[in-house]
Structure 1
Amino acid sequence: MAKDLQGFLNALFASEGGGDSTIINKFGYVGKYQFGEDALMDLGYFNHDGKKHEKDGKFFQDWDGTWTGKDGATSLQVFRNNVAIQDKAGQAWVRRLCSMGRKYGAHAYIGQTIGGVLVTESGIIAAAHLKGYGTVTPKEGKYKTPAVMAFLKTGGAINATDAFGTSVGKYMAKFAGYALGCCEPVEVQQPWSYPFPPQGKTTALDGAAYIGLPALQGALSKADDGFFPIGASGLWHGGIHFDAGTGTVLNQTDGVRCIKDGEIVAYMVNRKYPEITFPKVQRSAAYSSGFTLVRHRIELPPNAEALFKAEAEKNAPKTCTPDNPSGGVAAAGAAGATTGAAAAAAQGTAKKDPPKTEAPKPRDPGMQMVFYSLYMHLLDFQGYEENPKRARPAYWDASNEFVVGERAKDTQEVPPPPVQAAAEAPAEVEEVGCDCGHGISSEANELLGFFPPETKEWDNVTSEELVHE
């Protein structure tokens, strides 16, 4: 069987209709693809009466309502007995589910393995046909209607089933890998990642483990060192702590995840944690000045503007006119369509003078966004030496364009700007390195420390000089 749209529909027919295109199951779902009232209403075939779908107190599609006559479907019997109409509805339904999936963010998970299932576009659409997308944004960790989005966002922990016991994950796996061509292709962006995956998981794509679910206490509620935005000391610290307490829920042993794929711009690793001494209390404390700076790019597809415009036009309210009382699109022919002799003439012209191939246009800068993420207080090198089993960052082994430090041999390619004559300042103690104090020296503010000798002035360092592959 071909792994295309028709192959997908054939497989869906075999699973849903059991080979009988006229079937109505015990819950009232009809035909090859087991459509319900709501689906055919979304597609414009049917208008139900607005009453609850119940029979003898149980859920049931009663088909009490009116048929619109779309594609010739004037009644339930006509729809059941006309395979061509059902196939048209099936193709339209796939496109509809595809559009909804992009709207709800389901396609961001394509390529990930969730709950043991490799997520594909056709798998998402099949699972949505089975159970719907359900609740997209949980409240207090609870999904009112768990379905496809709950499965994706909880790493497969919530795997809802239909009335026959078939699960979202099972359908997602069963119908994976079909090339549907139902939507304009969009470059799959790597999903946003949380700092750590839950215990027993390998991906960190969902926040459920952090905030908790009905049957799971969140990691943040287990933190020993304080809670955002107040630390254990009662003072503001403006961050979230990950410690031994959060480590009971999260896998923190393999290192922190980068928020999104990107390029390493610069990083620094302390040989050993530096220490600071507090003279008044005769106490010292270690701290980390290690960091990694990452540059990220997000790009919209080249045809994003056209896609957004088409989606807006599709969802725009219909306007009724005397020539178009139904509010459809038939009346648009007079405004823009070419018909009859004009169409023939246009075709003749096209055959004689084929259009020239245009060179690809440069990418619109407005379709791209560049941002940076900074990771601080990183482990010192001594910590890696003390635990040889600890995984080391892969970018340590990559070639470095520039290394800043006492042994650096590279030189400044761009000469520094001329130094302007400065006002006379009080004499200072001569130090080697770059003054990292805060405020002007005349105010006698405490120095924070010194950069290593030969450090370049930051204002003269371009991002290109710091990038390495």
Structure 2
Amino acid sequence: MRRWISFFCPLIMIFILASFGFKSGETVRVPESLIVREPTPVLYPKNKTEFKTAMVVPPFVGSSFIGFREALAFKESQGNYFTINTFGYLGKYQFGIGTLQLMGVYNATQFLNNPELQEKVFRTNIARNKWILRRDIDRFVGKKIRGVEVTESGILAAAHLAGAGNVKKYLRSYGAVDVKDAYGTTIAKYLKKFSGYDVSEVPPKKNPRI
């Protein structure tokens, strides 16, 4: 009985497979609708703004005075208190020795190693530039020069870059007299880049010192 079962079982399996129409070596056909004959178009949104990455300049703290301060510091030194650039400008806000002396700071090493002092100097310098440029702030804020709206924060940032006297010349010449720093950055660029911050918390002050 066992010999008969072992003999007939393979024959039965062959018969079943043959009845379903499978033949040895037969090629399976792919349906015509599934055959790819040309490149498939890549699907992407027509409005590319959907995929804009939100770029945050660290640290992002809005349009307050702190936001203005940190954005300017990031542009000057990436917020590094202890750096000196190739032209000898110092610290987080890249002050020159001459400007520091105007505010009563004479020790460059002490300044460079004291973040608290650097913050005091920055605020004092803003108050000083506000006083020097107070009439120009009243006169030009809200106007456009070369397509850029003039704001108080833009004026103060430009004064930090090039000095209050050069900013006066720029404003009063309506952009005809512009200057740039040693790296090629212009007053016009800072007026635009740092516009729209609220710097009202620092009052103007004549000849302030630390």
> What is the deviation of 1:113?
0.5
| Residue of 166, 181, 184 corresponding to 1:162 | 181
Query: 2:142 — aligned with what?
Result: 111
> What is the deviation of 1:161?
0.9
Residues paired across the two proteins, number: 148
1:130 partnered with 2:161: yes
1:183 partnered with 2:199: no
Q: Specify whether residues 123 and 43 from structure 1 end up closer, same or farther in structure 2 by C-alpha distance, changes over 3 A only.
A: same
TM-score (norm 2): 0.65
Q: Quick one: distance in 2 between partners of 1:170 and 1:5?
A: 19
| Residue of 64, 70, 78 corresponding to 2:110 | 78
| Helix, strand or coil at the partner of 2:104 | coil
Query: 1:9 — aligned with what?
Result: 69
| Residue of 104, 109, 129 corresponding to 1:44 | 104
Q: Quick one: distance in 2 between partners of 1:110 and 1:183?
A: 16
Instruction: Report the residue type matching 1:82 in the other structure.
Output: N
Instruction: Report the residue type matching 1:38 in the other structure.
Output: G
Larger relative contact order (Cα-Cα within 8 Å, sequence gap ≥ 6): 2
Instruction: Report the residue type matching 2:177 in the other structure.
Output: I
Instruction: Report the residue type matching 2:66 in the other structure.
Output: Q
Alignment of 1:370-381 (within 5 A): none
Deviations for 1:174-194, whole angstroms, at most 9, x for unmatched residues?
A: 11111112227xxxxxxxxxx
> What is the deviation of 1:106?
4.2
Instruction: Report the residue type matching 2:203 in the other structure.
Output: C
2:105, 2:111 within 8 Å by CA — same for their partners in 1?
A: no
2:70, 2:79 within 8 Å by CA — same for their partners in 1?
A: no
Deviations for 1:83-117, whole angstroms, at most 9, x for unmatched residues?
A: 111111111111111111115x3431010010121
Query: 2:42 — aligned with what?
Result: none
Instruction: Report the residue type matching 1:7 in the other structure.
Output: G
Indicate the percent of aligned positions where both proteins have the same amino acid.
40
1:130, 1:168 within 8 Å by CA — same for their partners in 2?
A: yes
More strand by share: 1
Gaps of 5+ in 2: 1-60
1:20 partnered with 2:20: no
Deviations for 1:203-261, whole angstroms, at most 9, x for unmatched residues?
A: xxxxxxxxxxxxxxxxxxxxxxxxxxxxxxxxxxxxxxxxxxxxxxxxxxxxxxxxxxx
1:17, 1:34 within 8 Å by CA — same for their partners in 2?
A: yes
Instruction: Report the residue type matching 2:175 in the other structure.
Output: G
1:106, 1:152 within 8 Å by CA — same for their partners in 2?
A: no
| Helix, strand or coil at the partner of 1:32 | coil
Gaps of 5+ in 1: 47-66, 68-75, 135-146, 185-310, 316-327, 329-469
| Helix, strand or coil at the partner of 1:93 | helix
Deviations for 1:266-317, whole angstroms, at most 9, x for unmatched residues?
A: xxxxxxxxxxxxxxxxxxxxxxxxxxxxxxxxxxxxxxxxxxxxx6xx66xx
Q: Quick one: distance in 1 between partners of 2:128 and 2:172?
A: 21
Instruction: Report the residue type matching 1:20 in the other structure.
Output: N
Q: Quick one: distance in 1 between partners of 2:145 and 2:104?
A: 34
Q: Quick one: distance in 1 between partners of 2:92 and 2:187?
A: 20
> What is the deviation of 1:79?
1.5
Instruction: Report the residue type matching 2:123 in the other structure.
Output: Q
2:151, 2:195 within 8 Å by CA — same for their partners in 1?
A: yes
Instruction: Report the residue type matching 1:31 in the other structure.
Output: G
Q: Quick one: distance in 1 between partners of 2:175 and 2:118?
A: 32
More helix by share: 2
Alignment of 1:33-432 (within 5 A): 33-46=93-106, 67=107, 76-102=108-134, 105-134=136-165, 147-181=166-200, 182-183=202-203
| Residue of 86, 89, 108 corresponding to 1:29 | 89
Q: Quick one: distance in 2 between partners of 1:6 and 1:32?
A: 14
1:20, 1:31 within 8 Å by CA — same for their partners in 2?
A: yes
| Helix, strand or coil at the partner of 2:164 | coil
> What is the deviation of 1:157?
2.0
> What is the deviation of 1:159?
2.1
| Helix, strand or coil at the partner of 1:151 | helix
1:115, 1:157 within 8 Å by CA — same for their partners in 2?
A: no
Q: Quick one: distance in 1 between partners of 2:109 and 2:123?
A: 20
Query: 1:290 — aligned with what?
Result: none
Larger radius of gyration: 2
